């Protein structure tokens, strides 16, 4: 499996006449670990919402060579695009394993899932290992630490064979150690998938981004490596130099 690339052209989203995303182009190569940064209100979440079909947009969003724009959310998800939100949405009363099992079974019939209940499917075993949650598999998700819940949510995407992950501030509220562990997790995931991370934490971006897009007022202000972005005077002005 190799990650697929994401090509966005002239993406536009308006809310009641207000243009939140104003002609955004993105070229995210297969296997990239792209950070999407920019001040509050720059349009980062709206870009991700448009790519995943949550808001209406114009332009073009091609993934794996196919046009995603205009498709319903579930069809886009079925094409291998998955996302997390700032607040992890896991089933708190179910165990880690059950959460992953349900995610893996999405789209499978209840009967198939019942039949399979005794053996842990291979993708679930791999997701437990990748996210470092193997030792916690039988704990209810509700007792997990904040960081562990985020990792579980990422694991729930991995078992669905997601090839493009869009993560909304995955390290918000995490401890230093959790941030480091999350960065390493993103690196592992990115070995054979494409990952896009909305982020506010500049230290985290510097440590783990392979490439960066800076959004400002709905437009791409700068795209490049961490060093290129940091050296850009306009970026410093609107964002980094605050
Ligand atoms: P960011 O994620 O970079 O902080 P957002 O994508 O959340 O920015 O928002 C971009 C702009 O669009 C903001 O000005 C925000 O107020 C506006 N916006 C976002 N969602 C909606 C909505 N559903 N209705 C109206 N305005 C919205």
Q: Of all protein residues, whose CA lies closest to atom 14 belonging to ligand 1?
A: 41
Which of 19, 22, 46 is the best mutation target for the ligand 1 pocket, counting ligand atoms within 8 Å of the beta carbon and taking the most? 46
Per-residue HEC secondary structure of 33-68 comes to EEEEECCCCCCHHHHHHHHCCCCCCEEEEEECCEEC
Beta strands in the chain (DSSP E): 6-15, 18-28, 33-37, 58-63, 66-67, 81-84, 164-168, 194-198, 211-216, 219-224
Q: Of all protein residues, whose CA lies closest to atom 6 belonging to ligand 1?
A: 43
Query: What pLDDT score does 2 carry?
Result: 46
Structural domain includes residue 133: yes
Any residues with CB less than 8 A from the CB of 40 and at least 6 apart, and which? Answer: none
- What's the mean pLDDT when you consider all of the chain? 90
Ligand 1 centroid distance, CA of 19 (Å):
9
Tens digits of residue pLDDT in 58-78: 999 999 889 999 999 999 999
Ligand 1 centroid distance, CA of 112 (Å):
41
Q: Which residue has the higher pLDDT, 4 or 58?
A: 58
Tens digits of residue pLDDT in 14-67: 999 999 999 999 999 988 999 999 999 999 999 999 999 999 999 999 998 899
Give the number of domains in the chain. Answer: 1
What residue has token string 């150690």? 177
Q: At residue 106, does pLDDT exceed 70?
A: no
Query: What pLDDT score does 1 carry?
Result: 41
Structural domain includes residue 179: yes
Tens digits of residue pLDDT in 203-235: 899 999 999 999 999 999 999 999 999 999 999
Structural domain includes residue 148: yes
Q: Which domain covers residue 208, as residue numbers?
A: 6-240
Atom from ligand 1 closest to the CA of residue 42: 3
Per-residue DSSP letter, 130: H
Complex prediction ipTM? 0.98
What's the pLDDT band for 113 if we cut at 50, 70, 90? low
Structural domain includes residue 75: yes
What is the pTM assigned to this prediction?
A: 0.91
- Selection from 2, 33, 21 nearest residue 212 by Cα: 33
Lining residues, ligand 1, CB within 6 Å: 15, 18, 20, 38, 40-46
Report d(CA 154, CA 148) in Å as an integer. Answer: 10
User: What tokens does 231 get?
Assistant: 């050296």
Any residues with CB less than 8 A from the CB of 64 and at least 6 apart, and which? Answer: 4, 5, 79, 80, 163
The answer to whether 143 touches 93, Cβ cutoff 8 Å, is no
Atom from ligand 1 closest to the CA of residue 18: 26
Q: Of all protein residues, whose CA lies closest to atom 18 belonging to ligand 1?
A: 20
Q: At residue 242, does pLDDT exceed 70?
A: no
Which of 40, 43, 216, 218 is the best mutation target for the ligand 1 pocket, counting ligand atoms within 8 Å of the beta carbon and taking the most? 43
> Any idea what the CATH number is for the domain that residue 37 is in?
3.40.50.300
Structural domain includes residue 1: no
């Amino acid at each position: 499996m190799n990650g697929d690339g994401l090509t966005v052209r002239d993406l536009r989203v308006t809310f009641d006449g207000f243009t939140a995303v104003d002609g955004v182009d993105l070229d995210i190569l297969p296997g990239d670990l792209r950070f999407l940064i920019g001040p509050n209100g720059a349009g980062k979440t709206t870009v991700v919402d448009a790519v995943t079909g949550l808001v209406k947009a114009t332009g073009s969003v091609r993934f794996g060579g196919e046009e995603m724009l205009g498709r319903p959310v579930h069809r886009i998800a079925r094409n291998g695009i998955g996302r997390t939100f700032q607040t992890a949405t896991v089933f708190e009363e179910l165990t880690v394993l059950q959460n992953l099992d349900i995610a893996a079974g999405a789209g499978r019939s209840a009967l198939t899932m019942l039949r399979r209940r005794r053996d842990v499917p291979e993708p679930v075993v791999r997701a437990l290992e990748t996210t470092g949650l193997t030792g916690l598999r039988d704990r209810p998700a509700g007792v997990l630490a904040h960081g562990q819940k985020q990792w579980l949510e990422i694991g729930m995407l991995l078992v669905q064979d997601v090839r493009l992950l869009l993560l909304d501030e995955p390290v918000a509220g995490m401890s230093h150690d959790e941030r480091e562990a999350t960065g390493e997790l993103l690196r592992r995931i990115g070995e054979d998938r494409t990952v896009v991370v909305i982020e506010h934490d500049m230290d985290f971006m510097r440590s783990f981004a392979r490439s960066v897009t800076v959004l400002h007022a709905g437009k791409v202000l700068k795209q490049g490596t961490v060093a290129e972005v940091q050296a850009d005077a306009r970026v410093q002005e609107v964002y980094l130099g605050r």
